[in-house]
Amino acid sequence: MLPAAIYLLVMFVYPFAYGVILSLQAKGGGISVANYLAFLLDPWQVRTVWVTASIAVPNTVLTVLLALVVAYSMRRGVWMERTITTALVLPIALGTVLVAEGINGFYGPKGWLNQGLLALGITDAPRLTHNYTGVMIALLVQHFPFCFLMLLGYISGIDPGLEAAARVLGAGPWAIFRRVMWPLIAPGVAIAFALVFVMNFGVFPSAVLVGQPAGATRTIAIAAYQQAFEHSDMAMASAIAVVMGGCQLLGLGLILVIRRRMAATGVATVGAGKR
């Protein structure tokens, strides 16, 4: 436990505590919550919380759902499984900036997709970059591989004999998933949902590169960056960062509560049926 405790203190507790202390520093000296009040009472700043949530929550649901469908269909192996898996996880090796530039190059106004649509005579195609849609696409491409690999490993570890037994007893595919597989998969889905939500809520480069950082996709991370490096107000930036961290912790807590209630009611049993 000691190495884990040291890592947690150095990488999380100390930076978070330092940020909290810095956020409470008043411009005239002393300790004050003025930075938090300034943020919470400014509609333009508070809006960033809702903008971030409107990006993070739907994208997390979409990413986890898509990863679950693909991982569940590949749980017992498919034709060209290694090739398909490699293609699905390739964005991990590309990085956020390269993925964003690729999305601009393909979905942008002068990208391959629009050029192809123009060649077909379609001139009223919707705009897919430098807006909310572009950020959603970028986050999906970036976070799907992690979620897919996590769920594939979790689902593949469930004893296949359980499915076979249910099939022998006359259960159909939907009944097998709902009554046998889902109670075993749910804990892994909850963990994947929590991790993807945290990554989505901290979105910054995608909101800048393929979004509208001064408008529709001005997230809370962008607000903190602007206060720190454009206005040189580290105390205010720390306050915004603490608010962002609090929102992430609140989301994690809600997910853990739901997961615990599922386990308490027998909907999900952690580790049951695992090989």
Contact 127, 212 (CB under 8 A): no
Q: What percent of the chain is modeled with pLDDT above 90?
A: 59
Among the residue ranges 13-17, 90-94, 192-196, the one predicted with the least confidence is 90-94
- C-alpha dihedral sign at 259, 265, 266, 267: negative
Domains of the chain from N-terminus onward:
54-217+247-264 (1.10.3720.10)
Which of the residue ranges 18-27, 77-86, 222-231, 263-272 would you say has the lowest mean pLDDT? 263-272
Calculate what percentage of the chain has a pLDDT beyond 70: 95
Q: Write down the pTM of the prediction.
A: 0.88
Alpha-carbon Rg for the chain, nearest whole angstrom, is 22
CA 83: distance to chain centroid?
A: 25
Range name among 78-82, 197-201, 212-216 with the lowest pLDDT average: 78-82
120 pLDDT tier (thresholds 50, 70, 90): confident
pLDDT score at 5: 93
Residues 9-44: pLDDT tens digits?
998 889 889 999 999 988 777 888 999 999 999 999
Give pLDDT, residue 270.
42
Could you tell me if 69 and 185 are in contact, meaning their C-beta atoms sit under 8 angstroms apart?
A: no
Tell me the per-residue pLDDT of 210-247, one tens digit each, with 9 for 90 and over.
999 988 899 999 999 999 999 999 999 999 999 999 99
Confidence of residue 202 (pLDDT cuts 50, 70, 90): very high
pLDDT at residue 269 above 60? Answer: no
Residues in the chain: 275
Question: What is the structure's pLDDT at 264?
Answer: 67
Residue type, 160: P
pLDDT of residue 271: 44
Asked whether residue 134 carries a pLDDT value surpassing 60, the answer given is: yes
* Cα–Cα–Cα angle for 86, 90, 111, rounded to 5 degrees: 125
